[in-house]
Every structure is written in C-alpha cells, then in structure tokens.
Structure 1
Amino acid sequence: MESWILLGATSAIARAFARRLATEGATLFLAGRDEAELEAIAADCRLRGAAGAEVLAFDARDPAGYPALIERLAAQEGVLNAASFVGSMPEQAAIDAEPRLIAGVIADSFTGPATFLQMLAPLLEARGAGTIVGIGSVAGDRGRLGNYVYGAAKAGFATYLSGLRNRCARKGVHVLTVKPGPVDTSMTWGMKMPFMTSPESVAADIARAVKRRRNVIYSAPIWRLVMTVIRLIPEPVFKKMSF
C-alpha cells in the first residue's frame, strides 16, 4: 500500500487530493501548522477509507523541524510519495508597503518546500520508487505587475522541481510539477479572474497526471495556451500591460 505526505495539508487543493487518496486506501501523513484543522481532515480521510491518517507538524519557515518528519517517514514501509501544497500570496500592494514580507513568501512558496524535498529525495531514491508532486503556479511563467513576488517564488520552485525531476528519474522516482491557474480558494477570495477552477478539479488533474507520470501540467489545461501567448508578448508591449 502506498503512503503520501501532504505538506500544507489544510489548503483547499490538498484537502481535495487527500479525499481522493483516502478513497483509494492510501496511508496519509497530513503536515501543516493548524493541528486542530489537520485532525479534522484526518478523521474525514479515515471515514473515506484511508488505511491511516496521521497528523504531523510542519512549518515551511522552520527547517529545524524537518529532520523529525524525515525520520518518521523513514520508518514507514512501502512506496512513499510526497506532495507540496505550501504557499502564501500577500497582495502585492502589501509587499510594496512592507518589503520584509518577501522573505515569508519565498520561504512558504519555494525555499521551505524545496529544502524539505531535498532532504526527502534520498529516502525515495533508496527505495527506487515514489512520486513527488510540487504545486507551482501560472504566475511563475512570467513576472506580472499584480503578483511578481509570488510569481518569482513559484518560478524558482518550478525550476527546482525540474532539476529534481532530472536527478530522481535516474533512481525510479517521478517528479510532477503542477501549475494551476486561479483556483476558488481562500487565497483568491473576492478576486475576479478568468478560467477560475475548483480545488476538486485540480486534484483530479493531479491524480491523472500521477498515474500517467506526466512531467508538467497546467490546471485548467487552457492555461498552457494562455501562458504560451503571454510569454510570447514582446517585453516593450508587456511593460505597458496592467494585468
């Protein structure tokens, strides 16, 4: 039976993905900061058929806590998989007013999960199996006026995942990069965005991509086309655009 650790397990997409895994009988390690909320998610997953659902403390801004998680996972037998849903996106105006917020965005959306996955990768490689799923964002495909700090963090994470995929493929471990467009979650509350999708739809896309061993997916798929067009806009023109 397979096991999954979900970083940032209280996020809407992580919850939807956890529910899917639970119905398949997976063992779940739900990692995050809100223990009470994690316990509620774990109870729900057990009711849905999870072989087990254990809560683990994880704070992307506190790497000192990572070794204990790695040690717990090392004790779990069988195929081990990981998915990182961690990230934070303050309004760009708030960051402009207080640049020190950048450090938290980078830690949550890039360096924290990357550090953890870097520590976890040898364990999966030693077993010669497993999947790592990293949640990036279409925001990382090109710096935009409205969220370029968050976009920069997700761009860095996507590049990291690309290199990790290259490394781990040699040892039988697959790495999937997921680039969602706007998703109807608390992070986008009140925002009006095109092609907005649901956490359940993103979770379904992830599940299919894991089974098919895809490398990079966009969710919803239309964002692959949209971002291709956006990347092709000449810089002199792009600088005058307000989106």
Structure 2
Amino acid sequence: MKKIVAFESAEEGALYEPLISRMMNRLEAYRKFLEKKFRLTTCPKGVIWTSSELATEFFSSIPIPAYAREDFIYITPDLNAWQELMLRQLEDKDLPEVRAYYEQFSEDDLFEILAHELTHYIDLFVDEFDDDRTDSIWFEEGMCFYLPRKYGFSENYFKKITEIEGKLAEAFSREYAHRSLDDFGSESYQSSLSSIMFDYWRSYLTVFSLVQRVGGDEQKLFSLYLEWDRTGRQTSLTKYFSIHG
C-alpha cells in the first residue's frame, strides 16, 4: 500500500512523518495477518494521511476523520484531534473513567482505527463498498473493531477498550437503545456524535458477545453470517442471531 501525505503545507506533513511511518509499518504486519487468517486478497491502493479538517470537509463530509473508500483509506494522524473527538462524544455524561481513558489517546488507539479501516477490505464481508450496506453493516463494523483489538494488541488493551465501550453504550442506552441494530447505515451520519458512536459501540459489543457464544471461534461466526447471506437473508441479521434489545 502506498503512503500518501495530503496536507495544506509541506511543514505540516513533515511534522507527522515519523508517526505515519510507524503506523504504516504496523499496518503492513496486520495486513499479512489478515491475508493469512481472514481472506484479505485485495488491499486499498494506499492510505491518504491528511488533516482532520480536510478529511471531514474536503475529501468527505463524514464527521469522523477515518474512513475507507474503494481504493483508499483516509485518516488523520493528529492525536490531539482524535482526543478532542473522543472526549466530545461523552457530551455531558459523568464518566470519569472513560474521560481519563480518552485523555490519554495514544498511537495504539490511532493504529486501532487504521487497522479497523483495513479490515473492511477482507473478502468475508458480503457487501461491497458501492452497495447500500444497510441491513448487516453492524456485523461488519463490529467485526472491524473486534479483529484488530483481539489480535493487534495485548489482552489488557482488549479488555480495557471493551470495558470502556460497554460503559459508553450503557450511559447512552436511554437515548438510543430503542433503535434496531439492523438500521445502522441508513442514517448513520445525520445525528449527533454520540448518536453516531452509539451504533459503533453497540455493534462491537454485539459481535464480541456473538464470538463468545460460538466459543471464541471467529471463523465459525463468519460461516454463520455467510450462510445467512447465501440462503437469501430470509430474516434480519439480528433475528438470525437471536439478538434481543
């Protein structure tokens, strides 16, 4: 994959060059893991590293400065911008442990987001980038969180981020839990930041629970998911997996 640096000044790009190089080296190792274990056969042409402003206002209108398109991953390396976004999602909730966690937003957290975007390219997902992607996107998004967290970091990191997002989902459940997971994707970026992120937290936590249900065997869970698609999606994916709430 190519490393493409797209900032408004050469000086800004140079400032992030060491961090970007470290991220790309880690991504190469994760790419090899996905190729070996989870059917990654076609990678994006490159990663476009840019500012948060350009990512959310120039290249796209998505309010989160990391996303995958058919040919490229777009992401900002600005740790301060990520920290500000992660804290803003808390709104007025009194969550001191969660706040303290995101106040220490690190390179590991940035790499997790980058690895998440690459995971979207594995062949095990049934929807393509140009599909409507509305009736099962929660499974793909949840798995794109799960795999990097499970296999790209320590057990302590995996447990901690699961705990943090569990607290977030619980804190915002009164506002948003009435929505169906199957609707994730229909209007994902047209609400508040906490509303957007709630769908991501819940998708990850649901996939985490499903993996536990099949004894920790992600391949078995993928097989069930693919069978749902092969048999014509005769019911919603949440009903297929007997997910309640």
TM superposition score normalised by structure 2: 0.30
Greater strand percent: which structure? 1
